[in-house]
A and B are shown apart, each in its own frame.
Chain A
Amino acid sequence: MDKSVLVATEGLTATLGFSLMIGFGVLFLILAFIIKHGLIKSTHDFIISNRKVGLGFGVGAVISVWTWAMAVMMSSAMTYQWGLSGLFWFVVPNGFAIMAMVPLARILRRKMPEGYTISQFAHTRFGGSKAASVVVTIAMIFGILLETLINIKGTSVVMSTVFPIDWQTVVILTVVVVMTYVFFGGLWTSVMTGTFNTWMITTPAAIVVVAVYAHISGGATAVFEAVRAADPTNLSVFEADAAAGFGITLAFGLLAAVVADQTFWQKVWAVRKEQVTRTFLWGGALFYPIPICLGMLGLAGLAFGLTPEELGGDIVAVGPYVVSHIGLPLILVLTYVLVILAACYSTIDGAASALSSIIAIDIVKRFATGTREKTLFYITRFGMILGGVISGIIVLSGVDFTTLVLTTYALKTSILLPLILAIVWRKTNTAGFVSGIVLAIVIGMPLRHLYGEMVGTFSILAISAGVVVLAGLFTREEFDMDKLLEAHKDELAHKAT
């Protein structure tokens, strides 16, 4: 296919870029004010929405927080790099990871109906063990910081690439916009804006993709033939290279990213109890079409024979490049930018809300139990803002995220199986839980460094689970799960005092 037809769309001014970012924020701020006056009376409402999030908002919020900006662009990038095998390995474990929460969520919502955070569960499950709860709390905070950083970075990359805007200005603006509207409405704002964003990343995204193919001479057939002519294996989902290259490790990474993430556990306890199963089941199943749809942009990139150099050296830019160079009307290019902005904003506000619950329950209420409701409410909200500001400063400093990525990877992967066992296996004990996580990191991370990601990931998973199981088999004690019910009555005042 003739790539000389790919010319950058004109009219993408800085004013337009700022208008999109601020306009989105103002819309959500109005919604946040309405929510604040009608739905938020206490910290309980702010961090857990009084456990009254319904099915529609639950499903919409789960889809939106799981659709990171990078997911929007990575689905195209993985298709571009590995063909349909890349899309297969990127997409299939992604939706499954959400649905894998169903059995765990069901158990904890029934056994611990008054819960707020997964660290709080670890604290109670392991008899108030500081080691167990602190390690889980740290893993959650690292995960939240990382997803905030990556999405702030994603917004800055896209906005500064498409518009003539300085990337640092985008970082500051993103933090200010998102933190402003989340400050007022907490989780309620996050689920309502997130549900709006789910619309943005579905129908408008679909129309952009169809329009891209409508602008290609010969349409889907021409793309199909060009991809096949270049390399027929790109049209197969059975290429082992993609599985070995990233697919298998990504599958476990995604599972850890959901199960060991307070962003999702917060929703387990915030959604109406009778809708928890449906929320995660529908959320996972209805998530699938988003990356499949956007992956088709990567196929178009392959058909044009685009090189990484033409994409500015980063294959993640293949989607934005195709959309902004295929000759689409300006309105559709802007729509695509809004799709990515929606994905960014919803993940950042979801992470901020999750952080607010950790601050209130796992930090303030655990270490300063006598804190008054009014004080707690302020600390929770300003702590959440502080998290956003720190993330923004880290991105602005230009430091390499590698250490944070590795630390988060190590913590989340090592916690995954011990946490699942703690929920489903009564014989899981504190010694096994803590030592399993520590040994998995101490032994598994050097193995990862020496032998690569796959060996490292499997080592961490095997060591963490193996130690927990061995420790459980060597003791007679069994945890009475009904103790979870007693432990969490009235953790927070349900009304403002």
Chain B
Amino acid sequence: MSGLLIFFLIIGAAATALYAAGYVTGIRQSFADVEEDKEIAEYKDSAYTVTIALAVIASAVIIGLVGVNPIFVYAGPLLAVITTFMVGFAFFFERMMRASGNY
């Protein structure tokens, strides 16, 4: 087994652990919310234009880099693991927002 594959297995397992923890947290929260009628009155709509532009440019640059150096072949798999991590994080991020009341 190559060192790179072992590395991906390790970070994949770590991201999966966070994902699973987040998923369970999300399910518990959904069930806890059933009888909750509290409405969030105030929340700010975050700016999106710059984020969208950055995400589009980043994706284009990453694909372009694959054609520059073979190491970037692994950028896609690495980012896919980061997607797992970020979706798992999203559950906790929302919980933090709820705790602080800052939406």
Do these two chains interact? yes
Residues of A whose CB lies within 8 Å of any CB of B are 38-39, 50, 52-57, 59-60, 63, 84, 87-88, 91-92, 95-96, 99-100, 102-103, 106, 188, 192, 195-196, 198-199, 202-207, 209-211, 213-214, 219-221, 223-224, 235-237, 272-275, 277-278, 281-282, 284-290, 292-296, 299
Q: Within residues 33 to 78 of chain B, which ones have a CB less than 8 A from any CB in chain A? A: 33-34, 40, 43, 45-46, 48, 51-52, 55-56, 58-60, 62-64, 66-71, 73-78
The residues of A that contact B83 with a CB separation of less than 8 Å are: 63, 198, 202, 286-287, 289-290
Candidates A99, A237, A296; contact of B60 at CB < 8 Å: A237
Measured CA separation A211–B5 after assembly (Å): 6
CB–CB A296/B76 < 8 A: yes
The residues of A that contact B69 with a CB separation of less than 8 Å are: 224
Measured CA separation A95–B55 after assembly (Å): 8
CB–CB B60/A203 < 8 A: no
Q: Within residues 5 to 25 of chain B, which ones have a CB less than 8 A from any CB in chain A? A: 5, 8-9, 12, 15-16, 19, 22-23, 25
Report 11 cross-chain contacts, Cβ distance below 8 Å, ordered by A residue: A52-B34, A54-B26, A59-B86, A59-B87, A60-B90, A214-B4, A236-B67, A288-B79, A292-B62, A292-B63, A293-B80
Q: How far is the CB of A202 from chain B (nearest CB, A)?
A: 4
Candidates A92, A192, A211, A236; contact of B56 at CB < 8 Å: A92
Listed residue (A50, A59, A103, A223) with the most chain B CB atoms within 10 angstroms of its CB: A59
Q: How far is the CB of B95 from chain A (nearest CB, A)?
A: 9
The residues of B that contact A57 with a CB separation of less than 8 Å are: 26, 30
Number of residue pairs across A and B with beta carbons under 8 Å? 203
The residues of A that contact B94 with a CB separation of less than 8 Å are: 54-56, 275
Q: How far is the CB of B25 from chain A (nearest CB, A)?
A: 8
Q: How many residues of B contact A (CB 8 A)?
A: 62
Given contacts A52-B33, A56-B26, A95-B59, contact A274 B103 (CB under 8 A): yes
Measured CA separation A206–B94 after assembly (Å): 26
Measured CA separation A390–B86 after assembly (Å): 37
Measured CA separation A54–B52 after assembly (Å): 21
Measured CA separation A73–B77 after assembly (Å): 15
Given contacts A235-B67, A292-B63, contact A54 B29 (CB under 8 A): yes
CB–CB B40/A274 < 8 A: yes
Measured CA separation A221–B23 after assembly (Å): 38
Measured CA separation A54–B68 after assembly (Å): 40
Top-10 shortest CB links A-B: A289-B79, A235-B67, A56-B91, A293-B76, A206-B77, A274-B43, A292-B76, A224-B70, A220-B70, A285-B55
Candidates B45, B55, B97; contact of A277 at CB < 8 Å: B45
Measured CA separation A273–B82 after assembly (Å): 26
Given contacts A272-B40, A290-B83, contact A95 B56 (CB under 8 A): yes
- The chain A residue with its CB closest to the CB of B64 is A237
CB–CB A56/B90 < 8 A: yes
CB–CB A96/B74 < 8 A: no
Whether B99 is near chain A, meaning CB under 8 Å from some CB there, is no
Listed residue (A50, A88, A294) with the most chain B CB atoms within 10 angstroms of its CB: A88
- The chain B residue with its CB closest to the CB of A286 is B83
Q: How far is the CB of B57 from chain A (nearest CB, A)?
A: 9
CB–CB B48/A282 < 8 A: no
Given contacts A203-B80, A277-B48, A286-B83, contact A56 B23 (CB under 8 A): yes
